[in-house]
Structure formats: structure tokens, C-alpha cells
Amino acid sequence: MRPVRRCASVARNDGTVTDPDSFAALLTPEGQALLDALHDHDPADELATATRLRRDHPASLVSAALGQARLRQRAAAKFGADARRMYFTPNGVEQSTRTAVAEHRAARLAALGVRSVADLCAGIGGDALALARAGIRVLAVDRDPLACAAARANAEALGLTDLIEVRCADVTGTDTAGCDAVFVDPARRTKARGGRIFDPEAYSPPLSWAIGAARTAPYAALKIAPGVPHDALPEDAETEWISDGGDVKEAVLWFGPTGAASGAPEAVRPGGRRATLLPAGDSLLGADLPDPEPGPVGDWLYEPDGAVIRAHLVADVARQVGGRLIDPTIAYVTADALTPTPYATAYAITDVLPFHVKKLRALLREREVGVAVIKKRGSAVEPEELRKKLKLGGRNSCTVFLTRVAGAPAMLLGHPANAQVTSGR
Ligand SMILES: C[S@@+](CC[C@H](N)C(=O)[O-])C[C@H]1O[C@@H](n2cnc3c(N)ncnc32)[C@H](O)[C@@H]1O
């Protein structure tokens, strides 16, 4: 017999609410009590939990609360402890800005003297909340009524209603006059298949509209995909690539008055390229250096952070560490000495060899390497395929770089500068 499918009037099959009225039910005392009861619930026990709660509460509300609890758990990676008190939509969890990045941007706007921001495409309020916490008044605009309901609930939950006004409207008709700055975070994914949109003109609203809106405000920040081609960057904007914990999260186009507060670190540098590494907040502004010369692999290899690579600032890092490239087309820097930099991870290099699987296997065996971190840049070899062939075993560890040196496939062996050396040199 086919199982009878339960129908929830206020929630879709996975329990996630899809309309503002159903969302509002979560904000009633009964909805709140359910959400409180689900704070630490184990998703593995969901069926038993749902059955128990449905004895005392409407099935649709239980289903919606369980859906919201799931979203909160997913959102914890972005919002930390706040996620337990916040409200999400499925799109909202995915598309919202993580707290670390939103706080960094809000702090820069505050340092620029911005006191009010039109947050266009505010979603569930990831950025609006950080802006308000930085003391900035926010007009948060989104055309999705459910996202607006979540943004309002989030402002309330985090005690920021005095600073955040949520308006459900199309941003293209929103008057931003009177705001010190405009922030635009366009939707970058198709709703139908959930895939990412790469063409900036396919953003909603299109990037050209957002740039036009940015140019009407004293200051503006536009969030864009970090893979944006450099030749698509407007000349009057500074572009900042931001990584968090080593992962590149986004790029931001900054617009501001030319020459204003130009000595200050937060000042917008039109045409500038910047890499900012969170959580520490180190920020490297490019000096328009020519590509570094390639040269022989030295005792140290530097792997630049992804934000540095995306911002095309490898030359700046090479200059910092007195280094050179191992190959004109590869973003690995090498030097003869260790010069600590926040912008690259340094490795002590023990071996530089032409790529050869059998030779590598023999070397790692001889050195009793049981754990190998395999990194690749400019190599077609699949690390996991290679790992199977290496049949590793032993008490030592090693980092293997599959790359090119002076145009030829090469393998470099070493270990991180801050690691204890466990393999022989
Ligand atoms: C990437 S999300 C914003 C995320 C937000 N910054 C946050 O951190 O929570 C993009 C949002 O743009 C909204 N959007 C897209 N086109 C819009 C338009 N023309 N007018 C208003 N909102 C729009 C979508 O509804 C979606 O919520």
C-alpha cells in the first residue's frame, strides 16, 4: 500500500514555509514555544519529534517549525550563535552574507562616515543586521515578501528595529536620495534550478543597473561574484576580493568620492584592487606591479590566499617575500628565505622533481609518509587518483605539490612552515 502523504497547509513538503502568513504563525506564542523546543533538536530524531509535537500542536505549524529549525542549523556556519534566534528562507540561508564578511563591510562603511544605507536586495537581512550593529540606519528593500518578513523578524530578534526599516518593493523603483550609501547584493542564482548565474547582466537586478544606482550615491558597495573577469570591472570602482578562513567568498565593487579622505586606510581607491583576508582582516591594496620574473625553486614555496590570486596581487606578495614565480603561468611564489606574510602560506621545500608517479611512491615509502596533503596548480593529475596509486603508509606527513616548473610537469615535496618536520630532508 502506498503511504498516505501528509498535507501541510502552511508549509511545503520539507516543512519550509513559503508564504508570509504561514511565516507569521511562527512568530505567535505557540510558534515561538515550538521553535524554543526545537533549539537543540537532533535532525536524526525528526520523525519522532514531529509525531510527539503533533499531539499538542497543529501539524502544519509543527512542520513549519521543524523546517525553520533545520534552516537555523544550516545557517549556523554563516551566522554563528545568532542563527538560533534568526529566521530564514531556503534561498535566504544560501544567498545571505556571512556575518564575518558583512561586519567587515559595515565597519568600512562606518569608518567612511556613512550613517545611513539603502540596502537594495536585502534578503533576510544578513547585511542589514551587520550595518545596524555598526550603528548605521538601514532601509532594507526586497521584493520577496517572505524574505521581508524574515528580515523584519531578524531585526526584532536581534533588537535592531530602531535602525532597520524593511520595505517590500522592487529596488529599481526605490528612491535612495537621502541615504549616505547604497549597498546592492543582486540575486545571482536561478530560482528554477538553483544554479549560479555567471553573467552579471543576468543578475537580478542586472549589474549595469546596480552600477548606475551606485553612481548616484555618495558611497556605494556592490557585491559580485569573485570570479568576475577583470575586464568587466568599472574603472571608477575599487574592487575588493574577500576570503574567510582561506575560502574566497565574494568580491565587492566600492564607489566613493575621488580624493576624499584619501590617506585613510578605508578610503575608496578608484581602479584599485584589494585582497582582504578574514577573520584577521589583513588587507592588501595592489600597487600595479608588473608580473614577477620566474626563477628556480628555492627553499621556500608560498601559496597565496585565493583572494590574492583573484585580485591579481601575486606580484605584490612576491615583492613582500623577495620571491619569484616557479613558472610564468603558475601562482606559486618561491624564495630562498622565509618571510612570514598573512597573504600566503609558506612551505619548506625538500624536493623538486619531474613528475613521476613511481618515483613519488618510492620516495614517500622510503620516508614512511602515511599522510600526504596533495595540492595542485597547473597539473591535470587528479589528487585522489594519485593518492590511490601511492598506497601511503607510515608515521610521517608531507605536502606534495603537483605543478609546473619552467613549463615542465613537476612535483615539489615539503611541509608547512609552522608544522613540525616529520619527514627527512
Ligand atoms: C543575494 S540575496 C540578498 C542577500 C542579503 N544581502 C543577505 O545578506 O541576506 C538577493 C535578493 O535580491 C532580491 N531581489 C532580486 N531582484 C530584486 C528586485 N528587482 N527588487 C527587489 N529585490 C530583488 C531577491 O528577492 C533576494 O532576496
Least confident of 17-31, 92-106, 396-410: 17-31
**pTM confidence score:** 0.91
CA of 169 to the centre of ligand 1 (A): 10
Judge whether 404 and 379 are in contact, CB under 8 Å.
yes
Q: What does the pLDDT look like over 288-325, one tens digit per residue?
A: 999 999 999 999 999 999 999 999 999 999 999 999 99
Q: What does the pLDDT look like over 201-239, one tens digit per residue?
A: 889 999 999 999 999 999 999 999 999 999 999 999 999
Q: Where are the alpha helices (DSSP H) in 54-167?
A: 59-79, 90-95, 99-111, 126-133, 145-157
Least confident of 60-69, 127-136, 189-198, 364-373: 189-198
Residue 420 clears pLDDT 80, i.e. is over it: no
CA of 165 to the centre of ligand 1 (A): 15
- Name residues whose C-beta falls within 8 Å of residue 366's C-beta, 6 or more positions apart in sequence: none
71-98: average pLDDT: 96
- In the chain, % of residues over pLDDT 70: 91
pLDDT at 99: 97
Q: How confident is the model at residue 12 (pLDDT cuts 50, 70, 90)?
A: low
Judge whether 179 and 147 are in contact, CB under 8 Å.
no
Secondary structure class of 173 (helix, strand, coil): helix
- Name residues whose C-beta falls within 8 Å of residue 195's C-beta, 6 or more positions apart in sequence: 189
Q: How confident is the model at residue 194 (pLDDT cuts 50, 70, 90)?
A: low
**228/196: higher pLDDT:** 228
Ligand 1 atom at shortest distance from the alpha carbon of 102: 8
CA of 95 to the centre of ligand 1 (A): 8
- Most distant CA pair in the chain: distance in Å? 74
pLDDT at 8: 37
Judge whether 266 and 108 are in contact, CB under 8 Å.
yes
CA of 120 to the centre of ligand 1 (A): 7
DSSP single-letter state for residue 202: G
* 17 phi, psi to nearest 5 deg: -65, 145
Within 6 A (CB) of ligand 1 lie 95-97, 121-127, 142-144, 147, 170-172, 185, 187, 204-205
Residue 423 clears pLDDT 50, i.e. is over it: no
Pocket residue to mutate for ligand 1, from 109, 143, 158, 250, most atoms within 8 A of Cβ: 143
